[in-house]
Amino acid sequence: MSEAVIVAAVRSAIGKKKGSLAATRADDLLALVLRSLVERAGVEPKHVDDVITGCVTEIGEQGFNVSRTAALMAGFPVEVTGTTVNRQCGSSQQAFHFAAQAVLAGAQDAVIAAGVESMSRVPMGSDAAMGVPGVAAAIPFSNMFNDKFAFVPQHSSAEMIAEKWGISRQECERFSYESHQRAARAREQGRFKDEIVSLKVKNAEGAELSFDADEGDSPRHHAREVGDAQAGGEAGGRGHRRHVVADLRRRGRDPGDVGREGQAARPEAARARWSPQPSPAWIRR
């Protein structure tokens, strides 16, 4: 069996919603990073067998197989194929799995695995809200699905998990605060410098800027939120959960079925510490 290894990895800095990347199309962003990746790897694009990109909301600027179009925009030859995969929040991770599997199987020698998403420009859930009068409903679930399952949004399932395994709001806030502190320290210490490629982008006013630092960490803001959570206790944290339970009972189903059908995570999964990999990455044997 062939061996699969990651030989180069780069990413853009992470922008916050309506932040520095809000005026940059997702396909443009992916193209810029793909171009930077092959330059760093020192490999000609013509030697890439496939570009696999994870993307949750494949619509609008992220539609029409954004992996393929972005590769062409990056200057890759038309002979280089590309495909976009959607495993919801695990889409980019799935792209890595598919790339590694292709190399391990000996089917391909060099594959790029990537991920792209712009929630500022393509709002989450917009692919499920494109109802066309007389053609398709806005919500894409058929009665065959609805008769067996109840769709549980993430915020609702999170509350159900927290209640089932006794995870308090204060614990969640403290964990989040600690995570933001670590991210801020890592950024200040330059730990992300080697994996982030500086990109020339334009802001909402049209001014060009160099974007090379993550915008998501905000430890001081979270410190205020933790204080609010401690002052407010657990109040207001069960509304969505009650709505889902009421809906299940209206359908004549036991709310516990949600956990038995795999809709809720196991305790160890709920408490797991996950370390993300930079994306995209160049994988070859």
190-203 pLDDT, tens digit each: 999 999 999 999 98
Q: What is the pLDDT of residues 2-48, one digit of tens each?
A: 899 999 999 999 999 889 999 999 999 999 999 999 999 999 999 99
| Superfamily, domain 5-124+276-284 | Thiolase/Chalcone synthase (3.40.47.10)
Mean predicted confidence (pLDDT) in 230-245? 50
pLDDT at 246: 55
pLDDT-derived band at 233 (thresholds 50, 70, 90) equals very low
CA–CA gap between residue 149 and residue 264 (Å, rounded): 13
Mean predicted confidence (pLDDT) in 166-172? 92
Instruction: Please check whether residue 9 is in contact with residue 113, taking contact to mean a CB–CB distance below 8 angstroms.
Output: no
CA–CA gap between residue 87 and residue 169 (Å, rounded): 28
244 vs 40: which has the higher pLDDT: 40
The H or E element containing residue 284 is: strand 281-284
pLDDT at position 218 over 90: no
Neighbour-count burial of 203, counting CB atoms closer than 10 A to its CB (0-12 exposed, 13-18 middle, 19+ buried): middle
pLDDT-derived band at 132 (thresholds 50, 70, 90) equals low
Q: Which amino acid is at 273?
A: R
Residue 140, Cβ neighbours under 10 Å: how many? Answer: 12
Phi-psi region of 209 (alpha: psi -120 to 50; beta: other; left: phi over 0): beta
Q: Which of 101-105, 169-173, 207-211, 216-220 has the lowest mean pLDDT?
A: 216-220
List every span in the chain annotated with CATH 3.40.47.10.
5-124+276-284
Mean predicted confidence (pLDDT) in 231-260? 51
pLDDT at 41: 95
pLDDT at position 162 over 90: yes
pLDDT at 112: 98
